Amino acid sequence: MNCKRTDNILINKLTNEEQYALTYIQSVNDTWADLFKSVLLKSRDKISQRLITSMHRENLANCRDYSEIISVDHYPLPIDTPYTYILKMSFLQNGKTLYAPISGQHAFDRINVTGPFYFEKNKKFSRIKHPNDILECILTEVPHLNNEASMQFKDDMDNSVANMAIALSYQSYTLNDTHQSLLDLIVSSDDPYLRSEQAVLEGHPLHPGAKLRKGMTPQTAIAYSSEFANIIKLKFILLQKDIAKSQSLYNNYNELIFSQFDGLYDSVSKILSIEDIDNYFIMPVHPWQYDEILKKDYVQEIESRLLIPVDYDIDYFAGLSFRTLIPKFPEMIPHIKLSTNVHITGEIRTLSEQTTINGPQVTKILNDIKNNDRLFTNINADTIDELAGVHFYNPQDSSSLQTVKSEQLGALFRENIYTRINQNTIPMIPSSLVANYVNHNETPICSLIKKYESTHQFSSYEDASIQWIKSYAQALIDLVLPLYVKYGIALEAHLQNSIATFNYDGSMNTIYIRDFEGLRIDESYLNHMGYTTETFHEKSLILTDQSQTVFNKVFYSSIQNHLGELIVAIAQSTTSENLETEIWSMISDILYTKLQEISLTMKDTSRIETIESILFSSKIDYKCVTTMRLEDEADYYTYIKVDNPLYRPLH
């Protein structure tokens, strides 16, 4: 929309979070600070667009009921936008109307919007300068949401805006003279996989708390977030075995860990005798947790030498998942998931006891299934082993303190992707496929499809897109669907929990699913298939008897989120009005065919019939990420019914 005032004038004053960030950046570099100020309104709009999209899709505060899509020709202000339609959203109690240019309409009732956004009240228009202006409207419309949870959500958006501006301005500063495609930047780097994780700047594509780093200063957020590519000095401690629990996939836990890190055993042997070493577990600790939490909450254990810091560190880098640290190729040491008392997206990212204890056990079950069921032969998909886990556990602590202290000190070791992939392939986190940067708008998924189109001489980009996503979807579905249907295991296979490898002609090679913390298992069904869960952690949230919960987990993460985001990016890269519909129809066919293939290996097909009736119905559940936050239901998922692009009539 046309507006001749500068962004700096539009921002009347900075929030505390923005000022805090700016003050720090000014102490580092004046050019970066100027760029921070120049992208601030853009950053606010990026958080606002996530909020508006969520509100409409979730019908939050009934705003979808009171929305309409109007032509840009009917918009009452002069407008400078390439888009044809505008979302008009009315707030009856406020007497306000929100206007948002629509950048795309997509499957599962998704409407993407882009700033600038405007409010109209009494025929007067005002530029929306911050997402919390929209939140105020929501709370007026739905007063019962004006509670502690929504106040925290307000703080979350403040923090997300500031961190978005830090990241966008840093990217502008460091890539000012770079104009290659993002795919070329990734492929040409020393470590394409790590570079792909660092390329995802904006975080969760739909969550208003996409860049949340509550609990950190701007300085530590920059030091430890993936997009800044800083070396992170991983710390280690020793925990006496009386106050710790461990789990290992193959070997003795300590033997496994010492074998991975050169010099670690020597450093420990300077502190303890060989006999005493056997009485301790070795544990890595995130340096932020080491500095901010360990020295504050574990003083008694340190003084009594139940917990002993080790004079040893090693270089790692942050992944997109803030608490997962990754070595740089050619290092082949494990990826490590750690506890950090930092509020990211919807929760504080400590590490639960169940994650460290269950990960290797889930790995063992998955590997047995893959090795013995012919459904998993000759597919282009696999899982990444979780090798070992450990967490603090002092049985002398009170039950409430016990949980807090155990979750603050935990670690999970995961197989390094470079030990698994085929040579001459490009490993990337799928989140990066839909990313871009300030000097080049082309997303890696589009760059890959163009390579694929050129190499194989497709008649059109659209035809190449259909074949490209068909191969990708087939690989993902070949893994996640049989695990769910036949064994009751719902992998949380969203973009961030996956690694995809690509051939140099742009085509798909293999997809790998990692991170078993958030999966769901239909416990009785898995037990029925011959796999025991008796040794899983007693607090295991991943085990459930709610079949709908298991279905929603696999469907939301794999289909709605993972494939959905890729398909949106493809749809936005073409002028074809039918391409997205064609792709979803094709994916419906893949799912149906795969279900028939699975049924041939099962005696009782009634389960498949039930799944088909949900999967291919005209409406399907969508997880309400914003509603859950405002209603303070982080541990309980809230869903709304949306149109299902996979719909097919069944006999």
pLDDT of residue 69: 96
Distances (CA, A) of 465 to 435, 452, 498: 17, 9, 21
pLDDT of amino acid 7: 47
* Residue 426 and residue 401 share a domain: no
Q: What is the CATH number of the domain that holds 515?
A: 1.10.510.40
Distance of alpha carbon 313 from alpha carbon 438, whole angstroms: 35
Q: Does residue 646 belong to any structural domain of this protein?
A: no
Q: Say if residue 636's pLDDT is above 70.
A: no
Please give the share of the chain, as a percent, with pLDDT higher than 90: 79
pLDDT digits (tens, 9 = 90+) for 425-468: 999 999 999 999 989 999 999 999 999 999 999 999 999 999 99
Q: What is the model's pLDDT at position 344?
A: 59
| Per-residue pLDDT, 623 | 82
According to the per-residue pLDDT averaged within each range, which of 196-205, 343-352, 604-613 is highest? 604-613
Question: What value does the mean pLDDT take over residues 54-80?
Answer: 89
CA distance 325 to 340: 12
- The total of other beta-carbon atoms located within 10 Å of residue 519's CB is 23
Residue appearing with tokens 């948002």 = 100
Given 388, 418, 448, the domain boundary residue is 418
Cα–Cα distance, 478 to 590 (Å, whole number): 9
Instruction: Supply the pLDDT for residue 74.
Output: 86
CA distance 343 to 103: 30
| Other Cβ atoms closer than 10 A to 143 | 9
Kindly state whether residues 245 and 138 are assigned to the same domain.
no
Sign of CA dihedral 170, 173, 179, 180: negative
Helix, coil or strand: residue 241: helix
Q: Half-sphere exposure (CA, 13 Å, Cβ side) for 523?
A: 11
Residue 4, pLDDT score = 35
How would residue 352 be classed by pLDDT, with cut points 50, 70 and 90? confident
Q: Is the pLDDT of residue 650 over 90?
A: no
Q: Does a structural domain hold residue 198?
A: no
d(CA 378, CA 470): 16
Q: Do residues 275 and 399 share a domain? A: yes
pLDDT at 13: 86
Across 31-45, 161-175, 330-344, 602-616, least confident range? 330-344
Residue 516, domain member (yes or no): yes
Model confidence at 350: pLDDT above 80: no
Same domain as 482, residue 373: no
Whole-angstrom Cα distance, residue 174 to residue 464? 34
Across the chain, mean pLDDT equals 92
Q: Same structural domain for residues 368 and 454?
A: no
What is the CATH number for 39? 3.30.310
Q: Write the CB contacts of 582 (distance below 8 Å, at least 6 apart in sequence).
A: 466
Its domain, for residue 32, covers 7-174
495 and 530 within one domain: yes
Question: Is pLDDT above 50 for 492?
Answer: yes
Among 377, 384, 378, CA closest to 193: 384
Clarify whether residues 444 and 565 are in a common domain. Answer: yes
pLDDT for the residue 212: 72
Work out the average pLDDT over 528-546. 93
Residue 210 lies in a domain: no
Q: Give the residue-averaged pLDDT of 466-486.
A: 98
**Does residue 205 belong to any structural domain of this protein?**
no
Look at residue 81 and tell me if it is in a domain.
Answer: yes
What does the pLDDT look like over 389-425, one tens digit per residue? Answer: 999 999 988 888 988 898 899 999 999 999 999 889 9
> Measuring CA to CA, how many Å separate 610 from each of 185, 281, 530, 596?
46, 47, 22, 13
| Last residue within a domain, chosen from 418, 453, 482 | 418
Q: Predicted confidence band at 3 (pLDDT cuts at 50, 70, 90)?
A: very low
Which residues lie below 8 Å from residue 279, measured CB to CB, with a gap of 6+?
240, 241
129 and 256 both lie in a single domain? no
Question: Last residue of some domain: 174, 209, 233?
Answer: 174
- Do 608 and 497 fall into the same domain? yes
> How much is the pLDDT for 475?
98
pLDDT at position 215, please?
76
Q: Which two tokens stand for residue 27?
A: 């102490």
pLDDT at site 366:
98
pLDDT digits (tens, 9 = 90+) for 123-145: 899 999 999 999 999 999 999 88
Asked, for residue 197, whether it belongs to a domain, the answer is no
Token duo for residue 220: 């530590």
So what's the pLDDT on residue 6?
44
pLDDT at 5: 42
Q: Are residues 321 and 351 in the same domain?
A: yes
Rounded Cα distance, 173 and 167, in Å:
10
Give yes or no for residue 618 having a pLDDT over 90: yes
Domain count, the chain: 3
- Residues 405, 436, single domain; the answer is no
Q: Helix crossing, 461-487 with 564-572: angle to 10°?
A: 170
The answer to whether residues 121 and 266 belong to one domain is: no
Answer whether residue 641 is part of any domain: no
Q: Answer whether residue 378 shows pLDDT above 50.
A: yes
Looking at residue 295, its pLDDT comes to 86
H or E element, residue 279: none
Please compute the mean of the pLDDT values over residues 525-554 and round it to a whole number: 93
